[in-house]
Amino acid sequence: MLKRINLKQVRVGMFIEAIEGHWIDHPFWRNQFRLDRARDVEKLKSSNAAAVVIDTDKGLDVVSPSATKESAAAPKNPSLKRALETIEQSKPLITEMFENARMGGAVPVSHAAQAVRHIAICMQQSSRALIEVTRLKSRDEYTFLHSIAVSGLMVHLARAVDLDEETVRDVGMGGLLHDIGKMRIPLKVLNKVGPLSDEEMDQIRLHPRHGYELLARQGGVSRVILDICLHHHESIDGRGYPKGLAGSEISVPVRICSICDVYDALTSARAYKKAWSPTDAARFMLEQEGRFDRRLLMQFFHSLNL
Ligand SMILES: [Fe+2]
């Protein structure tokens, strides 16, 4: 599990996954390594790095069990601070929506509107920080951080292609809710680390329909959001699911979601895989002939300065 910790909490035996800050702020030439020597611990503690991210699956954890991301040092970088605040403000809103969906209750969609307001403001001022911070996802935080990341990226791309602000809001809400149907899938299937059986894969592939049905049933949810929930795994060449839609049958908000969803999954660190660099993710996505809207994909990478 990845954990962002205070420099004071660093100790011998930890595996450093990332050092937060500019490379000139610390004396280490690589970012990922095991801290084996006491003098390296001292060097790190006395450096100007803002914080570090450790991988507790590969090395020791912090001494105090209460040491979590929330208790880490306040970041020096104001953009990073704003990004972390945005996540903290959005967390209870998103968690409640997802929990209600899991329990079969009504989803408080107004929470998504509230969270998108925070995310959209943050994407205007600190887009890079929010994108970077949400790439570090521990297993228990994955669903909600993925939702925030996809929402933020979708808002960013929707603005880059000049969609009107009302659609930008709906697109952002769609990003938060696109995978809500996964809450109806048994946790043992959803959290399985090894390869999935055909039957388990079929269950996972039902999540767009589950999400659509959940939101359509309760009413008052915009067409754009419903469309994103149901179709975000469709492919321009017609090889996606659930309906195998192709080309112009797939709306622009849905195309935006497909791009941002895959990009965030590729660039995120998971317990079982390293995060791909943005450039590697871009190269891979460009190689997927027929999967994405090519023009939007280029605009997306351009908007991220890739
Ligand atoms: Fe999905």
Structural domain that includes position 19: 2-55
- Is 198 among the domain residues? yes
Cβ 99 vs Cβ 50: under 8 Å: no
Residue 194 Cα to ligand 1 midpoint, Å, equals: 19
pLDDT single digits (tens) 108-127: 999 999 999 999 999 998 99
Query: d(Cα 160, Cα 83) in Å, to the nearest integer?
Result: 20
Q: Buried b vs exposed e over 43-79: b needs ≥16 C-beta within 10 Å?
A: ebeebebbbbbbbbeebebbeeeebebeebbebeeeb
List the structure tokens of 74: 């306040």
CA of 178 from ligand 1 middle (Å) equals 6
Within this chain, do residues 89 and 232 fall inside the same structural domain, yes or no? yes
Q: Which residues contact 221 (CB under 8 A, 6 or more apart)?
A: 109, 215
Residues lying with their CB under 5 A of ligand 1, a single-atom ion: 179
Residue 221 in any domain: the answer is yes
Clarify whether residues 160 and 14 are in a common domain: no
With residue 53 as reference, give the H or E element that holds it.
strand 51-55
Q: Are residues 51 and 194 in the same domain?
A: no
In the reported structure, the alpha carbon of residue 2 is separated from the centroid of ligand 1 by a whole-number distance in angstroms of 23
Give the pLDDT confidence of 136-165 residue by residue, as tens digits. Answer: 777 668 888 999 999 999 999 999 999 999
Residues 46 and 178 in one domain: no
Residue 164 lies in a domain: yes
**Residue 68, pLDDT above cutoff 60:** no
Do 20 and 163 reside in the same domain of the chain?
A: no
Beta-carbon-side half-sphere exposure of residue 224 (alpha carbons within 13 Å)? 20
Same domain, 33 and 115: no
Shared domain check, 145 and 31: no
Centre of ligand 1 to C-alpha 19, Å, is 31
pTM above 0.85, yes or no: no
CA 65 to ligand 1 center in whole angstroms:
33
110 C-alpha to ligand 1 centroid (Å):
21
**Total domain count, the chain:** 2
Dist. CA 23 → ligand 1 center (Å): 36
**Residues, the chain:** 306
